[in-house]
Amino acid sequence: MNEEDRLLNVKEVSALLGVSRTTLHRLVSAGNFPKPVRVGKRASRWRQSEVLVWMETRPLATAENWQ
């Protein structure tokens, strides 16, 4: 399996993004983050490749953005 095709759990994704699990789920519900893949009755995972692409498309936070 390609490293970018790895499946990440909610704890890994929230740590990677630096957001809480609640914020992560809100982003998904609002359609602002890729939906997870169901891997079991009560388990979901995100494709690492989709998370990385999403992160690359986000604007960087800079001092100019806060003015």
Q: What is the pLDDT of residue 2?
A: 61
Q: What is the pLDDT of residue 58?
A: 86
Q: What is the pLDDT of residue 64?
A: 67
Q: What is the pLDDT of residue 5?
A: 86
Q: What is the pLDDT of residues 15-66, one digit of tens each?
A: 999 999 999 999 999 999 999 999 999 999 999 999 999 999 988 766 666 6
pTM: 0.80
In angstroms, the CA 58 to CA 34 distance is: 13
Are 48 and 12 in contact by the 8 Å Cβ rule? The answer is no
